[in-house]
Amino acid sequence: WMSATADPEWLDTVDFKPMRKSIRLIRLDDKDHAHPVVHKRVYAQKITQPKPGVWLVDFGVGIAGRINLSLSGTAGTTITIKYGEKLNTDGTLDQRELARFIRSGSTQTDRYILKGAATETWSPRFVYHGFQFAEITGFHGQLTEANISAEVLNTNFENAGAFHSSN
């Protein structure tokens, strides 16, 4: 329906005219909330290759955050990063539990297409994931601790209070 080659038989559309009295329009403004900030950086505790072409990175702790990759390779090569908290018995990433909640698309997956520069550093900018493990495919080099790290993100709210206990 969005292109000149769309199927002309697809005509089952309905115009929706909202009732203005029941809709409250608000302006979204990024100044109305605190933006996520990097709390700390964590490093790979273990990197394995459970299958040819599949790299599994264990960060040793579950985080909410994103990864940083520093790679080089042929322009147009797609690097796929999947995130999760469990492993299959063969050492690959198990996303079955997470996939139950996804109606369409890939579960906690990022893709980066190499430009072909000597070294490219990349991190997703508009998303973060919950994970301990990252599975990387499409990279044809040797993945090491120097190639990958992760950033723990949190929202930069002001402290609203504190708690101290002698226990």
CA angle 106, 110, 111 (to 5 degrees): 105
Q: Which residue has the higher pLDDT, 21 or 103?
A: 103
Tens digit of each residue's pLDDT (9 = 90 or more) over 44-85: 999 999 999 999 999 999 999 999 999 999 999 999 999 999
- Count the residues in the chain: 167
- CA-closest candidate to residue 119, choices 71, 68, 69: 71
pLDDT for 22 beyond 60: no
Q: How many angstroms from the chain centroid is the CA of residue 112?
A: 11
pLDDT bucket at 144, cuts 50 / 70 / 90 = very high
- CA-closest candidate to residue 151, choices 53, 66, 28: 66
Helix (H, G, I), strand (E, B) or coil at 153: strand
Who's near 85: CB < 8 A, 6+ residues apart?
62, 130, 131, 132, 133
